Structures are given as C-alpha cells and as structure tokens.
Chains A and B, each alone.
Chain A
Amino acid sequence: MNSENKLARKKRITQNIAFGIFTAISYAIVALLFVILAFIVVKGIGVISWEFITAMPTNGMTEGGIFPAIVGTLCLVLASIIFAFPVGVFAAIYMTEYVKDGWIKKVIKQMTNNLAGVPSIVFGLFGMSLFVNKLGFGDSILAGGLTLGLLVLPVVIRTTEESLKAVDATFRQASLGLGATKWQTTSKVVLPIAFPNIITGLILSIGRVSGETAPILFTVAAYFLPKLPSSIFDQAMALPYHLYVIATSGTNIEKSRAMAYGTALILIIIVLISNLLANALRKYYGKKVKMN
C-alpha cells in the first residue's frame, strides 16, 4: 500500500515537473515574440513621424524619410497580387471543383507543395534569369512583381482551396438540382460563400510579399533612387531591401541605425496588420457560416 502511494507520488511529481517545463517553454516562446516586437517598437517609435513616411531619404540615407521604399513596396504588392490572385484562385477552383481524384490531382498538389518549398533566393535567381534577362524586362517592378507573384502562388492556392472545400456540398447539390450548370454553380453559389475566406488568403499574401527580400534583390530592388518609379519598367526601392541595406552596408551604419529601426517597425506594422486582419476575418466569417 505504502509503496504504491510512493509510486503514485513519484508519478505525479515527474508529471508536474514535465508539465511545468513545457508550460514555461511555451510561454517563453510567446515572450520571445513580444521581446522582438517590443524591441523594434520601442527603438523605432521615436523615429516614425509624418516626415519619415512621406519624405525622401537624404544625407546618404541617414536622415529624411523612406517614402520611395514604401511606394516601391506598394507597387510590388500590387503587381504581384494582380498576377497571383486570379491565377491562384482559378487554379484552386480547378483543383476543388473540376479535377477528379486521381493522378493529375496528385501531381498538381505535389507540384504546389514543391513550389511552396522552393527557397526564396531560388525565386530570385529564376526571376533574374527569366524575367530580367531572357524576357528583357530588366530590373523592373514588372520582373520583381512577377517573381513575388510566383512565390505567393502556393499561399493563394492553398487558402482558396481550403475556403472552397469548406463550402457545404448541399449548396452545390441544390444549385445543380435547380438546373444550374457547373460553372454557374461555382461562380454564383460557391465563390460568393467562400469569398471572405479567399480574401483572408489575399491579405496573408500581401503580408508575405511586403516582407520578402531575397526574390527582389536581383529583379527590382534599387539601393537608392532620387525619384519615384513612373512605370512598371522602372526599378524601385522596397522596404525590406532598404532595411537590409541601411542595416548592413549603408554609408554610415551607426548613423543610419535609427532609420533602420523605423523601417523595421513599418515593416512589422504591415505584417502584423495583415496577419491580425486575416485572423479576425477568418473568425468573423467562420462564426457567420456556422450560424447559417
């Protein structure tokens, strides 16, 4: 009896220790997230001002603002989304609504996974070889946008697929039963229901695109430009590249530190907003669909 109690006690103590460690580690990871965020917010908040957001960099990028980098990133986000969103959504529609289970579906799925696993620097190499050199776009928003578009294609496809799959089969059956064609069903019934979730994927892609550096290194990004890009064949500055440059190889690294914190904060804000917005949307519409 006594020895059994001892065993049970030992068991309980081991468990408490193990669970304690796991709990502590989990909270430590979250704490780490807050440390990183807080560090950049605290150091960067003082730098951010109206001038910082709307002025050109001056004095060897140690003073002034980061306006051209913000504009460049916006251009890149737009260019890549205009390309990736329709292609990705149609690919997902094709995958969920039209292809029957079989080897074609398997291959496409595998290829999408593979594409998602390709390192971003390889996208950069590819974009440089195809868009910049072979197709002759040169270092341009077009080349960079297409490269980034290909990079987020798997993200768009996956989120769209998930949102389409989440649409209850009864909707489709009802529509088809009323005599609608497959395309009518897809476009008039399935897509509108899945739309909010698809938008979630779009927002996530925006966050991803605005933070990527490696793919734009050799396809669009410029160290410094005295004026804003005027066409899609122009080079552009971009926030992540700007941060990289002033953090590692600016004319005066110490003097441009403040600018670097500010740029990092702006980047973080964009990414956080897109993530939180996507999460909120997902939750909101998740509830709404359930209520129906």
Chain B
Amino acid sequence: MLSGAATSVTVILIVFFLFIEGAGVFSRKPIDDGYLLAVNATNNVKTLQPSQIKDVFDKKITNWKQLGGEDRPIVLFRTSDITEYYTEEELGPNFEYFPEKINELIEKQPGIIAFFSDKYKAEKFSGKELDIDKIKVWEFLSGEEWFPTAQPIAQMGVKPLIYGTLWVSFGAILLALPIGLAAAIYLSEIAKKRTRSLLKPLIELLAGIPSVVYGFFGLVVIVPLIQSTFNLPVGETGLAGSVVLAIMALPTIITISEDAMRNTPRAMKEASLALGASKWQTIYKVVMPYSASGITAGAILGIGRAIGETMAVLMVTGNAAVIPNTLLAPVRTIPATIAAELGEAPNGGLHYEALFALGCILFLITFGINMLVELVTNRKAHKKH
C-alpha cells in the first residue's frame, strides 16, 4: 500500500521542493546579499527596476531624467572607484575611513549612484538607499538577458534559454520524425518477422547508450563535422545538439509509432488490399491514418525527451545564452544551464533559486507534454469503441 504510493509521493515531493526553492527568486531583490545601491538624499528617484539598473551601469541610461528624476547626469560609483576621489592616506591604513568617505561622496555628488557592500555603510548614513523591485514572474519569463551573476544587478531573463531549448528540440524532431517513421513503417509492415526481431532490439539499444556517451561522441565526431561542413568558427552549435538529440529520440519515436501501426486491425488492411490497392497505398491510406494518434504520441514524447535532455546537449551546443536566430550558432538550453551553473551557485542564494525556477519551468513543460500524450492516446481509445 505504502509503496504503491511511492511514485505519487515522489512526484508531489519534487513539485513541492522545486517550487519552494524556485519561488524564492521572486521574493527577494536581485542584488547580492549584503550589497546596496545608494543615491544622494535629494534625488527624488525612489525605486528602480533591475533592467533599469543594468542600463544605468552599462551607461545606456546616463541622465536621471530618463528614470523620472531631475535633469542631472548620472555618476556611477563602484567600490573600486574610490581611489579616483580619495588618496590611500585619506582612507586610512586599514580603510577604516572608507564608510565615511563614501558617505561624504554621496552627499557631495547629487547625481551619484553608488554600489557598495553594507559593511561600508556609515553609521550616520546621510544618503538614500534605493529600493530595487523584486523580479516579477513575467519579467523572469520574458527577460532577454541571462546574466545571473552580473554586478551590481543579476539579470534573470530566461527567454534565450527557453528559445534555445525549443529550437534545439524542434530541430531534433524535424530530423528524427521522418527517419523514425520510415523505420517504423519498415519494421511493422515491410520487414520479415525474423528481420524485425533482429533489428528492433538493436534500435532499442540506441536508447540504452548513456547520454554522456552521446555527448562525447557528438563532441569528437559531430561537432568537428558540422564545423567543417558549414565552415563555421565553432562547431558547437544548436545543429550539433539537434543531431545528437535526434539520434537519442529515434528509439522513442520508432517504438511508439511501430506499436501503433501494428495495432491496425488486419481486416482493414486486407480490405484495402482486396480492393486492389498496393501494399504501399494501404500503408499510407489505411495504416498511417489509423495510427496517426500513436505517431503523434511518439513525436510528442520524443520532443519531451529532447527538451529534458541535459548532458549531451550541454557538451555539444556551445552554451551561449543568446536568443538564437539560426541553428548554426551556439545556443543554450534550460537543462544545460542548470547543469552548468548550479555547481557554482551558492546554496540558497538568488542564482541557486533562479536555477530551481528554471527546473520548475522544465518540469511544467515535460508534465504538460506527458498530459498531452495521455490525451492523444486516450482519444484514440475512445474512437475504437
């Protein structure tokens, strides 16, 4: 009884822990713990959004007017800039006057925006600490830049990662579906029983090869091949990911569509043949339409596998977090991002939580795909009766 619930409990626990950790990213400010942004007390800008702060520090926004303040140029200040204003003697031998000097500087410079650790915050701080907006769910999903460790403000936009994941996965299915279908037709309708019983286990063996081995094979064979074929500066591209994923998705597509085709009632096939249709006509006019839902299920499951695949993709796609516009450039997927970055993200920190939020997105996508498959196959079951 208890073990019967094991899988259900696990799924619920996964959801629980993933979402608890992932939700953290929306409940805190996207600035490193213990750091603050301060402005002159007379500055009437109170809060800024993460993207605005980034633009300020990237010098894309140079005047407070653009942020709803007075017409005053923005003066950037990071801790390391202190030497431009004060000599080492003024700061004291152990930087003990550091807090006071920062305070003084903020008071003197009406246009300043200062980013520094709060251990340098003077006891009688006379500047104004800026309020930073928390990351909103929508910003997280639609943000176009993923720089989770950027200073002073982390940029948590997952759009490039989502796009990367979808590009690579759909590329894979585009390659794998026709090939897989052809093989499924051969196995279920053309091959002799003996040939079939020989080939099928071999094709299924493809599913048994560990993904890290595929990644390695992709890295030493497919990546250089793509680089020389398309004359690219690097071979680690979305296309390399798609090719590797296509090979990995083949067994899923073949097994499921072949099962569906073999379920076509014999009477239907024989009726078609008796009417003078050729075997091939029977296949594409009778067998294929009859097993369409099974084939769809196979394709969807194949996409699901591709979207969740981590190691192989991580090793061959080059991992550049930019919104892709071609499969011939490096891309970065959601699973690869988690695998590559979680090891360096401090436990419980903002970056850590953002990666869990990515995990939530991944979980939801694959969960939705499973449900879709269920829907497609159930509809077929109803149609039969």
Hey, which bits of chain A sit against chain B, CB under 8 A? 11-12, 14-15, 18-19, 21-23, 25-27, 29-30, 32-33, 36, 39-40, 86-88, 90-91, 94-95, 98-99, 107-108, 110-115, 117-126, 128-130, 133-134, 150, 153-154, 157, 207-208, 210-214, 217-218, 240-241, 243-244, 247-248, 257, 260, 264, 267-268, 271-272, 274-275, 279
CA distance A130 to B356 in the complex (A): 13
Q: Contact check, B203 vs A40: say whether CB atoms are below 8 A apart.
A: no
Given contacts A25-B183, A279-B201, 4 further A-B contacts (CB under 8 A): A12-B278, A99-B4, A108-B8, A125-B356
Contact partner of B212 (CB less than 8 A), chosen from A90, A157, A243, is A243
Using Cβ atoms and an 8 Å threshold, which residues of chain A touch B370?
A: 113-114, 117
Q: Top 6 nearest A-B pairs by Cβ distance?
A: A119-B308, A211-B210, A94-B4, A15-B280, A90-B3, A111-B8
* Residues A117 and B247 in contact in the complex (CB < 8 Å), given A25-B182, A126-B14: no
| B interface bracket (residues with beta carbon within 8 Å of A) | 35 or more
Using Cβ atoms and an 8 Å threshold, which residues of chain B touch A22?
A: 182-183, 185-186, 190
Using Cβ atoms and an 8 Å threshold, which residues of chain B touch A247?
A: 215-216, 219-220, 315
Question: Which residue of A is nearest B13, CB measured?
Answer: A130
Q: Contact check, A214 vs B339: say whether CB atoms are below 8 A apart.
A: yes
The segment from B29-37, B104-112, B360-368 found at the interface with A is: B360-368
Contact partner of B359 (CB less than 8 A), chosen from A14, A121, A130, is A121
Using Cβ atoms and an 8 Å threshold, which residues of chain B touch A207?
A: 208
Q: Contact check, B335 vs A30: say whether CB atoms are below 8 A apart.
A: no
Q: How far in angstroms is the closest Cβ of chain B from A48?
A: 15
Q: Contact check, A122 vs B3: say whether CB atoms are below 8 A apart.
A: no
* Residues A128 and B304 in contact in the complex (CB < 8 Å), given A19-B190, A211-B210, A268-B213: no
CA distance A133 to B201 in the complex (A): 41
Q: Contact check, A115 vs B190: say whether CB atoms are below 8 A apart.
A: no
Chain B binding surface, main DSSP class: helix
Using Cβ atoms and an 8 Å threshold, which residues of chain A touch B216?
A: 243-244, 247, 260, 264
Using Cβ atoms and an 8 Å threshold, which residues of chain A touch B203?
A: 26, 29-30, 33
* Residues A115 and B10 in contact in the complex (CB < 8 Å), given A22-B185, A33-B203, A108-B4: yes
Using Cβ atoms and an 8 Å threshold, which residues of chain B touch A122?
A: 14, 18, 308, 359, 362-363, 366
Chain B 84-124 interface residues, beta-carbon cutoff 8 Å to A: none
CA distance A18 to B32 in the complex (A): 61
Q: Does B311 interact with chain A (Cβ within 8 Å)?
A: yes
Using Cβ atoms and an 8 Å threshold, which residues of chain A touch B335?
A: 119, 121, 214
Q: Contact check, B206 vs A33: say whether CB atoms are below 8 A apart.
A: yes
Best-buried of B216, B335, B370 by chain A (most CB within 10 Å): B216
CA distance A260 to B212 in the complex (A): 11
CA distance A211 to B212 in the complex (A): 7
Q: How far in angstroms is the closest Cβ of chain A from B261?
A: 12
Contact partner of B215 (CB less than 8 A), chosen from A14, A120, A244, is A244
Query: Can you list 21 A-B contacts (CB < 8 A)?
Result: A21-B182, A22-B190, A25-B182, A26-B183, A29-B254, A33-B202, A36-B209, A36-B247, A98-B4, A114-B7, A114-B370, A119-B366, A121-B310, A122-B308, A124-B338, A129-B18, A129-B20, A207-B208, A214-B310, A214-B311, A241-B212
